[in-house]
Structures are given as C-alpha cells and as structure tokens.
Amino acid sequence: MQKFFILTPCLNATRYIDDTVLSVISQIGDFSVYYHVQDGGSSDGTVNKLERWSEIIASGSCPQLRNDISFSYSSLPDSGIYDAINNGFSHKFIHNSDGIMMTWINAGDRLEQGALQTVSRLRQTNPSISWLSGGFAQINDEGSVIASTSGGTPVSQVAMAAGLYEGRLLGFMQQEGVFWASGLWKQSGGVINKALKLAGDFDLWRQFSKHAPCYKVNTITGCFRRHESGLSSNIERYYKEIDTLLEGGDLDMRDRLVRKLHDLSDRRDGNGMIQAGFTGPVVQWDVSANTWEIKMSIINPQRPSS
C-alpha cells in the first residue's frame, strides 16, 4: 500500500483552512495518509479549527473514506513559509521509508479528488517514478475553477535543472499537485532554502532534476487559489529572486541552453532536440487498454509547460 505524507504550512488561514483540509482527507483510494499542518503561530482562530479537525478525524465522526489516515498539527513561530515546510518535513514519519510520497499544499489551495489514487496506481505499476506533476489548475477566491490545462506537456530534466521553468522561458511548473518520493527528497538535501521567500519550489525542482526526471501526468492533481494576499501576487519579486539565485555560472548556463533550444526548435531538428535532452516523460490514460501509458515527448518552447 502506498504511503503519503502531506503537509500544509499556514498562518492566520481561518478563511481557507477547512477547504484545504477537506480536500486531503476526502481522497478516496487504496493508500495510507499522514497529514500534518504546520502552523506559524496563528492568532485568528486557525488553531481552533485544527484542533476541531483533529477531534473529528480521531473520533471517526466524519465519513471514513479509508481506514488508514493520521492527522497532526503544531503551532510554532517560524521565519516564513519555507522554514515552516522544513519544520513539517522533519517529521519522523518521513524517515521510516524511502518509498513514501510527499507533497505540500498551502492553506487555500486544494488537492484534486483522485490525485492520491492516481499517484498510488502509477507508483504501483511504475515504482521507478520518484517525481510527478499533474496539469495546471487555478481557482478563484471563492473556490471556483477559473483556468486549467490537462498536463500532458513534458518537462525536460536538463532544462529544469538549468532553471528554464521560471515563467518567462518555459512557463511555470505549478507546485500544487506535485508529488515526490522521500528517497528523492533525502537525495536532494532534504531541505528547502529558507532564505528564499517566493522561489523555494523553483529551487527544489532544480535540485530534484539533478537526480530524476519529472513525469507529467495528463490529469489535474492540485489547484492553486488566486487571492490578493497570496505570496505569488508579486511576480516581479519572484523573478528577481530567481535571477539572484541563478547569478554567475548558473545564469550563463541557462542562457546558453535557451539559445540552443531556440535554435534547434527553429530548425525543427527533432533528433537534435532529443540528443540535447529537450524531452520528458508524459503519462496519459489509454482508454482502450484502460491503463496509464508512458511515452517520451519533445518539449515545445513556444508553450508553457504547466
């Protein structure tokens, strides 16, 4: 049975926390979940809601969609979201096995129903998959889905490691709905750079890409909520943080790779694209075979890869 460790970092999230918690505990399938909420010292009633959820889950008074779900929370001051995530991911549960699948989902964002069963099935049939992502999905402040793409666009391991997936060159890779094996987390250092304020996921994906490819699954696994108080509302600060992160040799390498990518694409040199590593694994549902199928696809620099 596939095990999951799911983390929600939050601070003063009383407006959204119920929606996020429910999106996790309502997942249906053959897997086990340890769900932990790492609160940064909320003063708005968030902790009271977390205590109530803890009581409900422990008592079994909500529908039990699976028998194996554990819930915990802690409320401690931290230095920001990535410090909170590091604190949450230091949980002893993660260190018991390299096969646990991990993710975090911010307060206000949601896991899509079926996400955990999709990951569980793919890992069951393809245990070598250590990192995967679904498509892009955005909800508004009220929770309505306002934009989405299926997710069948590949991610190049080479391009990700070089920092091309930052929104201006090859699009973003949405953090919500990305899952990875605890072994890959440990192999990549087991920590997010807490000096960053906005680009921690971008940096983490780069670290993962040094060890494994990201499998893009042609389905929605998570939803990002757009609201005015969100950290991502200042895109220029995000770009500035990325440019600072890539200063020096990494920035030069990224620029050289961009030029090579555009040159090969302009010449429609498919073999050259493959040889340069501008390909990635895509997982699509085969209706006739009633199963997930994996194929390698060439990336397209003219369209976002999320």
pLDDT at 302: 63
pLDDT at 53: 96
- Pair 261, 212: CB distance under 8 Å: no
pLDDT at 306: 45
Does the global pTM surpass 0.75?
yes
Mean pLDDT rounded to a whole number for the chain: 92
Give the percent of the chain with pLDDT over 90.
Answer: 83
Distance CA 283, CA 193 (A): 30
The pLDDT of residue 304 is above 80? no
pLDDT at 149: 87
The pLDDT of residue 262 is above 80? yes
- Domain-located, residue 62: yes
The pLDDT of residue 291 is above 90? yes
Cα distance from N-terminal residue to C-terminal residue, the chain: 29
- Domain-located, residue 217: yes
pLDDT at 276: 97
> Which tokens belong to 90?
């230091």
Mean pLDDT, range 168-178, rounded to an integer: 91
The pLDDT of residue 144 is above 60? yes
pLDDT at 151: 74
Mean pLDDT, range 62-79, rounded to an integer: 84
Tell me which residue of 105, 227, 240 sits closest to 175, measured CA to CA: 105
- Domain-located, residue 139: yes
pLDDT at 279: 97
The pLDDT of residue 25 is above 70? yes
Going by C-beta distance under 8 Å and a sequence separation of 6 or more, which residues neighbour residue 197?
80, 81, 82, 231, 237, 241
Tell me which residue of 177, 166, 135 sits closest to 152, measured CA to CA: 135
Question: In a 10 Å sphere around its CB, with 0-12 CB exposed, 13-18 middle and 19+ buried, how is residue 222 labelled?
Answer: buried
Distance CA 163, CA 239 (A): 12
- Pair 227, 108: CB distance under 8 Å: yes
User: Rounded to 5 degrees, what angle do the CA atoms 127, 132, 134 make?
Assistant: 135
The pLDDT of residue 231 is above 60? no
Orientation of helix 81-88 relative to helix 200-209, angle to 10°: 50
CATH number at residue 111: 3.90.550.10
pLDDT at 210: 97
Tell me which residue of 30, 181, 174 sits closest to 102, measured CA to CA: 181
Number of domains in the chain: 1
Banded model confidence at residue 191, pLDDT cuts 50, 70, 90:
very high
Per-residue pLDDT of 95-138, as tens digits, reads 777 889 999 999 999 999 999 999 999 999 999 999 999 999 99
The pLDDT of residue 41 is above 50? yes
> Which tokens belong to 99?
């096969």
Distance CA 240, CA 187 (A): 28
Mean pLDDT, range 224-235, rounded to an integer: 73
The pLDDT of residue 305 is above 60? no
pLDDT at 93: 86
Mean pLDDT, range 160-169, rounded to an integer: 93
The pLDDT of residue 172 is above 80? yes
Q: What is the DSSP letter of 304?
A: -
Tell me which residue of 37, 60, 266, 248 sits closest to 163, measured CA to CA: 248
The pLDDT of residue 296 is above 80? yes
In sign, the C-alpha dihedral spanning 100, 82, 36, 119 is: negative
The one-letter code for the residue type at 301 is: P
Pairing of strands 215-217, 279-286: parallel
Tallying the residues shown for the chain, one arrives at 306
State the residue range of the domain holding 215: 2-298
